[in-house]
Amino acid sequence: MTVNVIHWSRDTPVPPARLLTAAVAMAVPVTYGVATDHLLQASFAALGALALASPRPAGSARLVGLGATGLVVTSAACLGALVGGHGWVAVAVVVGVAAVAAVVGGFNRWTADSTTRFITFLVMATGLGGADTWEVTRWFAAGVVWAIVLALFTAAPAPGPRATYPQLWRRWWGMMHRFDGWRYAVQLLPPLAIASVIGVYWHQQKSYWIALAVVIVVRRRGDSLLRATERCLGTCAGVLIGGALVLWVPPSWAIVAVVGVLAGLRPLLKERNYAAYATIMTPLVVLLMDLGRTPELSTVGYRLIDTVLGCLLAIIPTLLLRRRHVA
């Protein structure tokens, strides 16, 4: 396992322009926040840019695909901010909507990608429950639009053969009659529900990180025990790095630089090694969620505990399904 975890894949080329675009997409909103002293609003915009990072629809559908994905993630941010902090209402909404998204996402590649983003940013936005919903939504949408503008200047992969909607429907409906069509929902929903319930009973500020760790670790593709372990290790390491960064309270220019570097590395590491990707993705999220705030040491400690707990919850279904497959 160790050899695979440190394996550095070079199968997929990553153009330098893609790295630069990713860095600029995140750094510009943060720069605006630093320059105008609107760090909270800038964090919402940067999260919007992050939500639309690396979508690569091809051909004439590029703008339509980007726009549709942007609407999906913006609605997730709006809904998450709306229900965040509302106890059992938030649990019911998050788990219920995630259940629908998990099943519908199997229709095609776009729905798989968009629903995964939706679930991730829905959970993430519940951590913004104290903020004004309209303010979160409009700044998040501004970040999404900014990311779309930048994405249009980067090269898209050549479009491959596309199935017709009747073909996609028949394929999806057929999968619904097999376990494979429900695998992602089975792996995601039980730990997500448990994590959300724990968050209600465990009254501490960052309890949404339990559920967030679950949605980070459980993925529609790459559901092997090795990949789940990589995501767990990378996420926990990233929380430690992110905690150190926010406790350091770096000067404004350093925040911009760190966000830009981490964001720029994301596309490269995502293609090369998922543990390394999670290790830099998580502190990026931590920085953005805490931008304009000064967390206490206890908050950082709780976030690490939440993350470890979420990772443990997330990996249990993978272990059980692996034993079922072996048996």
Tens-digit pLDDT string for the chain (327 aa): 444 555 566 667 777 888 899 999 999 999 999 999 999 999 999 999 999 876 555 444 677 888 999 999 999 999 999 999 888 999 999 999 999 999 999 898 889 999 999 999 999 999 887 789 999 999 999 999 999 998 887 766 555 667 888 888 889 888 888 888 888 999 999 999 999 999 998 877 778 999 999 999 898 875 667 777 888 888 898 899 988 888 877 777 888 999 999 999 988 888 777 778 888 889 999 989 888 777 777 888 888 999 999 999 999 888 887 665 544
Q: What pLDDT, on a 0 to 100 scale, did the predictor assign at position 72? A: 96
Cα angle 44-47-49, degrees, rounded to a multiple of 5: 115
Q: Which pTM does this prediction carry?
A: 0.90
Q: Give, as one character, the DSSP assignment of residue 218.
A: -
d(CA 72, CA 116): 10
**Cα torsion angle, 239, 255, 55, 48, sign:** positive
Q: Please tell me the distance from the alpha carbon of residue 252 to that of residue 263, in angstroms, as a whole number.
A: 17
Q: Where are the domains of the chain?
A: 12-158+181-326
Element counts in the chain: helices (H) and strands (E): 14, 0
Question: In angstroms, rounded to a whole number, what is the distance separating the alpha carbons of residues 286 and 263?
Answer: 13
Q: Which pLDDT score, from 0 to 100, does residue 325 have?
A: 52
Q: In degrees rounded to 5, what are phi and psi of residue 7?
A: -65, 135
pLDDT at position 177: 87
Query: Tokens 């543990």, residue?
Result: 275
* Res 58: pLDDT: 47
The pLDDT of residue 326 is 47
Contact predicate 278/234, CB 8 Å: yes
